[in-house]
Chains A and B, each alone.
Chain A
Amino acid sequence: MRNFDWLMFSIPIVLTLLGIMTIYSATRSVLDTQPSFYVRQSIWLVLSIVALFVSASFDYRKLIGFAYHLYGIGLILLFLTIVLGHTGMGAQRWLRIGPVSFQPSEMFRIAIIIVVAKYLSIKRSPLSTSPLATLLFLFVLIPFYLLYKQPDLGTAITLVGIVVLMVLVKGVQKRILVSLLLVIIISLPFAGNILWEGLKEYQRNRLVAFIDPKVDPKGIGYQIEQSKITIGSGKFFGKGYLKGTQGPFRFLPEKHTDFIFSVFSEEWGAVGSVVVISLYLLLIIRGFETAFYAKDEFGTLLSIGISAMFLFYVFINIGMTMGLMPVVGIPLPFFSYGGTALLSNFICVGLLINVRMRRFILFY
């Protein structure tokens, strides 16, 4: 434990504690009985810290051995979610095991990063056609399809983005890259069309609303407009903790999950928001730094995958609350309410710490 990165450990804990405070504020209710979201999130935090230590404790290179098994289990769980999962918000994202519901897609993130890191680390750089085709089929199309079916488009797109980024980092033969780019550019209109047709009504509305929130400020553009009001009304110093109105008064939908940042920003203003964003930046930069220090390629790719994931999630989520991104159902790591996501994120940080801790170990 000599080289345990206490900074990397403390950032997520601070963020989660701020998150729990905000969840309390957002779900405090004026009339209804108070749901105990913040209590549950606190319990999950304890579990998650344990999970972090566990995932930091063993040599991460052992993961290479059962990466495929993990990935296989992940796919099966995703498949089961579609078949058995119960519906939340019109999407089947939860799987119930005993008293606990959990979201397999959140755990699946770790599995896909590990398996892609492993797969890429054993291939020669730059990648040629056949490993790319395997990648495309096994680690992009299949999970994308399963997530899309749930439907959890946000996670699906983010995961594809992570995989693509990891592949680019690994390196692809120039001619393949150029021809792939051409194919993508040419097929974009058709693909876009097919994708559009495949979107559910609410997903299309979200896109339309993103492009023009004024279309119907109480209808589809409602969430975006309300989120901007929530953030903007915080001004420089914020309204003060528990003084926010947008969340508890239900103007803001998904206030304790996807739009938790808005609630925080309303109460803590620009000052608080900059602190939180800086914490995320610090965590992400430190993650990339870990990738740099990593002794082996698997460690580097694993760290890049995890850090990129955090970057994407933060960018998409906070960008969405600020009206810079379309509304996609992606939680803010550590902040948003959601036990599985919290657990998964802490495991990811645990893995980063793991890689960082073992950078001085000599390989035998």
Chain B
Amino acid sequence: MIDKKKTITVLAYISMAVFVIFLLRLWQLQILKGSYYRKQSEKNRVRVFKIPAPRGIIFDRNGIPLVKNAPYFIASLIPGLSKKGLNLSGLSKLLDTSVEDLSEKIAKRKKHVLEPIRLKEGLSFSQVARIEARRSDFPGLVVETEITRAYPYGSTGAHLIGYLSLPTEAQLRKGLFAGTPRGTFVGQWGVEALYDKRLKGVPGKRFIEVDALGRQLRTLKVVPPQKGEELTLSVDIRTQKTAEEAFKGKAGALMALDPQSGEVLALVSLPSFDPNLFVRGISQRQWNRLRRNPGHPFLNRVFQSQYPPGSIFKIVTAIAALEEGVVDENFSVDCTGEIHVGIWKFSCWKGQGHGKTALRKALVESCDIYFYEIGRLLGMDRIAKYANALGLGIAPGVKLSAERKGLIPTTSWKLRKKGIPWYLGETFNAAIGQGYVSITPAQAALMISAIANGGNVYRPELLKDQPGPEPIAKLSLSPKTLRIIRDSLVGVVEDRKGTGGTVRSEIVGIAGKTGTAQVIKIPESAKKKLANKFRDHAWFVAYAPAEDPSIAVSVFVEHGGHGGETAGPIAKATIEAYMKSSGYYVETPAKN
């Protein structure tokens, strides 16, 4: 045996060295980093679960709810709590999906092992009950709940109300909805998207003490969710519904405004879509069908389709002529059905002519020759000035969808764009709303609304009872001009020869103007035989009651032919619906 004393002294020193190492490490862990580890242990013990916030309900102007909150169930697997050898085939039967689908979803996981993987979304109540009953067979299987929407009115008002869905991969990649917890439904369209921040509320939190196996032991604290703000829209859902039905399946757009406040009373874009398709997760097949639909259901025609306004533009030309003083109300033109400028011939829509025509008759019977004449006297630039003052050529700025501005041409615009000067014939066309001129249905509504309220163009307001309308354009016009124009527009509907006779109502006096946007230029008689896609587009703008307007409406019917025939009745139905809904007209029970 080697030196006993020395050996044992060395061993004692080694022991003490170990002791010192332990002391240093304890000092490091418990004193230096003690607070950090204390916090870690708190975090360990407590897991925070999200309590989805009920989304604010959206009401129409009469307090009718347009949306409902509905629970949305998701079957998820928490991989950290799942055992090896998970019974995938059993799980696929329970969830009614394929084994491949499940294993692919589980394999795709990149997150924390305690983060749930969503296996199947949009479960029905009976599926949830079945899963809860068999939870113990599949450790780690949980049912998560989110709040989504149900839209009781279906496709009615879909472009206005919009819909919710989960953020798409592309949106998440772009960093949209950054502040929203994972898996929360977000507004994707319409008011749901526009006012998403106000509607969504603040999710609550449930702090639960758990063990490392994720078993929930007890609830420590609950921060209740804050319900989202309720929104009352200016829309009148009854009017909206009637308006959509009045289109009878035709494509087109309609916008009804309260001319005094700019509030939107109805907003129709057809064809539409059922927002309920999106909230439960739309299938690829359904999505493709919608996207490839030749009717473009996702186009918000109110703001996004622009067409020549046709004769409804004659209102603008007439105002310009009166205000500029180039003619007075008695100035008349002899309409023979055509007019010649150089080698070109310009016709009136009425081949045999209107005979001697002054301004009122020209508007009521929509005489083209009269407006060629006053167009010639005005020149394009003066017409454009009044058009702009009535909100044409300007984006209304509603932000509900992308907006087009339409086009109000000027002589300098043409020179700049085309490099050639403006021709008189082009003024002729513009004066009757053809040629380069184009507007959107929203702009048509703003224009007629301005006539109804005396020249104010207000930004369309989607919410009810907002402070003061916001003017985006203003036309100052003399009371006399206003009176002449309004009287003429009443005549359009009420006069025997008026082009808007179809709009005449038993219950309210309506003022309006028909319009037809030409698709191709051919004789009237030949058009009847044409395929639908070559038929003209129909316009109608109107307001009512004529003496004290509370609604202004624009109607656009794609390939609707004459404005008076197809667009007129839609305007009438819409106005009458609103008169009833707003209490202007009370139906008395029929007497027997």
Taking beta carbons and an 8 Å cutoff, which residues of A are in contact with B? 30-31, 125-126, 169-171, 218-219, 226, 228-236, 245-246, 248-253, 265-266, 269-270, 273-274, 277-278, 281, 284-285, 288-289, 291-292, 297, 300-301, 304, 307-308, 311, 314-315, 318-319, 322, 324
Q: In the bound complex, what is the Cα–Cα distance between A82 and B462 (angstroms)? A: 80
Most chain A CB inside 10 Å of its own CB: which residue of B40, B114, B215: B40
A291-B37 in contact (CB<8A): no
B112-A270 in contact (CB<8A): no
Judge if B33 is at the interface, Cβ distance under 8 Å: yes
B112-A230 in contact (CB<8A): no
- The verdict on A311 contacting B30 (CB below 8 Å), with A218-B80, A230-B41 known, is no
B2-A126 in contact (CB<8A): yes
Q: In the bound complex, what is the Cα–Cα distance between A315 and B22 (angstroms)? A: 9
B31-A270 in contact (CB<8A): yes
A233-B41 in contact (CB<8A): yes
Q: In the bound complex, what is the Cα–Cα distance between A285 and B35 (angstroms)? A: 34
The 0/1 profile, CB within 8 Å of A marked 1, for residues 1-21 of chain B is: 110110110011011101101
Q: In the bound complex, what is the Cα–Cα distance between A245 and B40 (angstroms)? A: 11
Interface members, chain B 7-65 (any A CB < 8 Å): 7-8, 11-12, 14-16, 18-19, 21-23, 25-27, 29-31, 33-38, 40-41, 44-45
Q: What is the CB-to-nearest-CB distance from B399 to chain A, in angstroms, rounded to a whole number?
A: 45
Count of inter-chain pairs, beta carbons less than 8 A = 144
The chain A residue with its CB closest to the CB of B217 is A30
Q: In the bound complex, what is the Cα–Cα distance between A254 and B102 (angstroms)? A: 33
A234-B22 in contact (CB<8A): no
Give the top 9 A-B pairs by smallest Cβ distance, nearest first: A232-B37, A235-B34, A233-B41, A250-B211, A171-B2, A232-B29, A250-B212, A251-B212, A233-B38
- The verdict on A292 contacting B5 (CB below 8 Å), with A229-B44, A231-B30, A250-B211 known, is yes
B212-A228 in contact (CB<8A): no
Most chain B CB inside 10 Å of its own CB: which residue of A171, A218, A235: A235
Chain A residues within an 8 Å CB radius of B21: 319, 324
Chain A residues within an 8 Å CB radius of B22: 273, 277, 318-319, 322
Q: What is the CB-to-nearest-CB distance from B203 to chain A, in angstroms, rounded to a whole number?
A: 25
The chain B residue with its CB closest to the CB of A312 is B18
The chain A residue with its CB closest to the CB of B112 is A218
Q: In the bound complex, what is the Cα–Cα distance between A232 and B26 (angstroms)? A: 8
8 Å CB contact of B33 from A232, A291, A304, A319? A232
- The verdict on A314 contacting B18 (CB below 8 Å), with A270-B30, A292-B8 known, is yes
- The verdict on A251 contacting B1 (CB below 8 Å), with A269-B30, A274-B26, A311-B15 known, is no
The chain A residue with its CB closest to the CB of B14 is A311
Interface members, chain B 432-488 (any A CB < 8 Å): none
The 0/1 profile, CB within 8 Å of A marked 1, for residues 513-525 of chain B is: 0000000000000
8 Å CB contact of B8 from A246, A304, A315, A322? A304
The chain A residue with its CB closest to the CB of B11 is A288
Q: What is the CB-to-nearest-CB distance from A332 to chain B, in angstroms, rounded to a whole number?
A: 12
- The verdict on A274 contacting B80 (CB below 8 Å), with A229-B37, A285-B12 known, is no
Judge if B210 is at the interface, Cβ distance under 8 Å: yes
A235-B44 in contact (CB<8A): no
14 more contacts with CB within 8 A, not counting A30-B211, A249-B209, are A169-B11, A229-B41, A232-B29, A232-B36, A232-B38, A235-B30, A246-B41, A248-B211, A251-B44, A270-B31, A273-B26, A285-B15, A291-B4, A292-B4
8 Å CB contact of A231 from B4, B5, B26, B114? B26
Chain A residues within an 8 Å CB radius of B218: 30
A249-B45 in contact (CB<8A): yes
